[in-house]
Amino acid sequence: MSGLKVVVVGSGIVGLSTAAVLVQRGCSVTILDRDAVAAGASRGNAAAIAWTDVAPLASPGIWKDAIKWMMDPLGPLTVRPAYALKILPWMLRFLAASRPAQVAASTKALAALNAGALPAWDRLWRASGTHNQVRYDGCLEVFTDLRKLAATRASWAEQRRYGIEVRELSSVGIRDLEPALSDKVVGGALVPGWAQVDDPYHLCLDLADWLKTQGVHFQTACVEAVQPGADWVDLRTAQGDTVRADKAVIACGAWSKSLAAQLGDRVPLDTERGYNITVSNPGVDLLRFIMLPGHGFVLSPLSTGLRIGGAVEFGGLDLPANWKRVSAMVTRAKEIVPGLQACEGKTWMGFRPSLPDSLPVIGLASASPHICYAFGHAHHGLTQAATTGELSAQLLFGETPSIDLAPFGAQRF
C-alpha cells in the first residue's frame, strides 16, 4: 500500500507526528491547516511527555474540588458565564464519566495508550534527527497542603500498579532536589520516568522542516467539508478548492468536531482553554518539571525560559482571553518559588481539545474506512502524538492496532 496519497488535516503536533509515520511508510502526504504550523495548542503547551499520567481528569472526588475552584474566577478551574449553558451538556457527560466503573475503564485505556508514548517518540525523534531536544530529568509533584498530599497517595498507588515508578519525598527531600522552592512545600513525589522537550514549538517547526525534506507538502487551507467516495476522499476548502486523496486523517484539534459530524459521528468535543507565561530570565534555576496539583498549574523549564502555566477555563473558541488568569498563576508561583522574577514574559492562551472521559478520539470514521480520526488529546497532545500517529497509520493500512482502540472510537458516545 505504499504510494498512497494521504491528506492530514491539522499541522499541530498530532498531525505532524501522523504525517511522519505515514511518509516513512511510503505515502505521499499533504498537510492542510487553516493556520501556520503549530499555531494552536501545540505552540504553547507545557513541553511534557507525561506518559506516566494514567488518571483521567474525571474522577469520583473531582467535583468537591471543582465546585470550590469555580467559586474563584481566577482559580484552577472556571467557566466563563457567557459559556455556561453551552458547556452544560459536556459537564453532564463529565459527571457520568466520574463514576468509579468508568474511571477504572478510562484509566486502563489511558495506561495502554501511554505505555507506547515514549517508545513511539523515541522512534520519531531518531528518524527526524530531533532526539537532542528531549531531557529525562523526571517530574516533581509538589504540595503545600498535607491533606491534598495524603489524598494523592491513592493515585500514586494506581500508577505503581501499572509499573510506573513514583518516589514519595519529604519536604526536605523535595528541596534537596530543587533548592529554589520555599519551605511552604510539605512534601511530594519524584516521577523519574517523565520526559520533557526543550521547547514544543521549536520541536514542531523542526519536525515540519524534516517532513518537507521527505516530500510532505504543506498548504494553508481551512477544510470545510469532507466527502468520502468508494475508494477516495474529497476535502473541500474555504477557498473553494477540492483536494482528493486515497486516505485522510482528521487531526485538527479543537476544530475537528464539525468535520466528524459530517461523517456521522457526533463527538462531544469542547475546549479547555489553558494560559501561560514564558519568562526568559526568571531569576531562579529549576532543574526539572514541577507540577503543583493543588494549585492547577506547572513550572516548566524550557530552553527559552521558565513556562508558568496550566489551569482550565471553559469559554469556547470565540470569547476573548482573560489575562488576569496569568497574573494569578504568577502570584501563586512566587509563593512557592520566592526568588521568581516574572515582571515580563510572553503570555499565551490556547485551546486544548477535550472529551468528557479524558480519552482522545483515535479510530475510523463511521462513514468511511478511508478516514481516520486523531484528535481530542486535551492535556496530552504532545505526550500521545507519536503513538497516535502509529495507531492511525495501522488503521489506514488495515492492520490490527497495537492496542485495543475500542475505548477511543468516536462511536463510543
Q: What are the tens digits of pLDDT across the range 208-247? A: 999 999 999 999 999 999 999 999 999 999 999 999 999 9
- Given 354, 373, 394, the domain boundary residue is 354
- How many whole angstroms separate alpha carbon 304 and alpha carbon 348? 14
Q: How confident is the model at residue 64 (pLDDT cuts 50, 70, 90)?
A: low
Strand 139-143 and strand 289-292: the pairing is parallel
Q: How confident is the model at residue 71 (pLDDT cuts 50, 70, 90)?
A: low
Asked whether residue 176 is domain-assigned, the answer is yes
pLDDT at 304 over 70: yes
- Given 329, 354, 379, the domain boundary residue is 354
- Which structural domain range is residue 303 located in? 59-98+137-194+269-354
Q: Rounded to the nearest 10 degrees, what angle do helices 13-24 and 381-396 cross at?
A: 40
Overall average pLDDT of the 289-313 stretch: 95
212 and 331 in a common domain: no
pLDDT at 325 over 90: yes
Asked whether residue 315 is domain-assigned, the answer is yes
Residue 66: the pLDDT is 67
Q: What is the pLDDT of residues 140-150, one digit of tens each?
A: 999 999 999 99
Residue 410: the pLDDT is 98
- Domain CATH for 279: 3.30.9.10
Asked whether residue 113 is domain-assigned, the answer is no
- Domain CATH for 397: 3.50.50.60
Asked whether residue 132 is domain-assigned, the answer is no
348 and 299 in a common domain: yes
152 and 290 in a common domain: yes
Task: Sort 98 into a burial class: Cβ within 10 Å, 0-12 / 13-18 / 19+.
Answer: buried
Q: What percent of the chain has pLDDT over 70?
A: 97
Please state the pTM of the whole predicted model.
0.96
241 and 148 in a common domain: no
Q: H/E element holding 48?
A: strand 48-49
373 and 252 in a common domain: yes
Q: What angle do CA 361, 366, 367 make, to 5 degrees?
A: 130
Overall average pLDDT of the 301-322 stretch: 95
Residue 1: the pLDDT is 55
Q: What is the pLDDT of residues 14-34, one digit of tens each?
A: 999 999 999 999 999 999 999
For 383-401, b/e burial (b = at least 16 CB within 10 A) is: bbbbbbbbbbbbbbeeeeb
Mean pLDDT for the chain?
Answer: 95
Residue 118: the pLDDT is 97
The cell for 18 is 501522523
292 and 183 in a common domain: yes
Q: What is the pLDDT of residues 83-133, one digit of tens each?
A: 999 999 999 999 899 999 999 999 999 999 999 999 999 999 999 999 999
Non-local (6+) Cβ contacts of 310 within 8 A are 46, 76, 274, 275, 276, 296, 297, 298, 329
Residue of 226, 215, 228, 276 lying closest to 251 (CA atoms): 226
Q: What angle do CA 344, 284, 203 make, to 5 degrees?
A: 70
Q: How confident is the model at residue 74 (pLDDT cuts 50, 70, 90)?
A: confident
Asked whether residue 222 is domain-assigned, the answer is yes
Asked whether residue 274 is domain-assigned, the answer is yes
Q: How confident is the model at residue 156 (pLDDT cuts 50, 70, 90)?
A: very high
pLDDT at 8 over 60: yes
286 and 168 in a common domain: yes
Q: Please name the amino acid found at residue 298.
A: V
Residue 136: the pLDDT is 96
Overall average pLDDT of the 253-265 stretch: 97
- Given 328, 354, 380, the domain boundary residue is 354
Asked whether residue 309 is domain-assigned, the answer is yes
Number of domains in the chain: 2
Residue 147: the pLDDT is 93
160 and 259 in a common domain: no
262 and 167 in a common domain: no
159 and 254 in a common domain: no
327 and 276 in a common domain: yes
Alpha helices (H) along 192-300: 200-213, 257-262
pLDDT at 349 over 80: yes
Asked whether residue 224 is domain-assigned, the answer is yes
292 and 264 in a common domain: no
Most confident listed range (71-75, 127-131, 291-295): 127-131
In 3-state terms, the chain is what percent helix, strand and coil (to 5)?
Answer: 35, 25, 35
Overall average pLDDT of the 292-298 stretch: 92
